[in-house]
Amino acid sequence: MKISCGTDIIEIERIKSCIENIGDKFLNTIYTEKEIEYCESRRAHKYQHYAARFAAKEAIFKAVSTRYGTLSNWKDFEVLNDENGKPKVFINANIPSLEDIDISISHCKLYAVANVIAIYKEN
Ligand SMILES: CC(C)(COP(=O)(O)OP(=O)(O)OC[C@H]1O[C@@H](n2cnc3c(N)ncnc32)[C@H](O)[C@@H]1OP(=O)(O)O)[C@@H](O)C(=O)NCCC(=O)NCCS
pLDDT in tens, the chain (123 residues): 999 999 999 999 999 999 999 999 999 999 999 999 999 999 999 999 999 999 999 999 999 988 777 667 999 999 999 999 999 999 998 888 999 999 999 999 999 999 999 999 976
Residue from 15, 49, 81, 108 whose mutation best tests the ligand 1 pocket (most atoms within 8 A of CB): 81
Return the CATH number of the domain spanning residue range 2-120. Answer: 3.90.470.20
* Ligand 1 atom nearest residue 53's Cα: 34
Instruction: Please enumerate in sequence order all residues whose Cβ is within 8 A of that of 88, keeping only pairs 6 or more positions apart, or say none.
Output: 79, 80, 81, 82, 103
* Number of the ligand 1 atom closest to the C-alpha atom of 81: 35
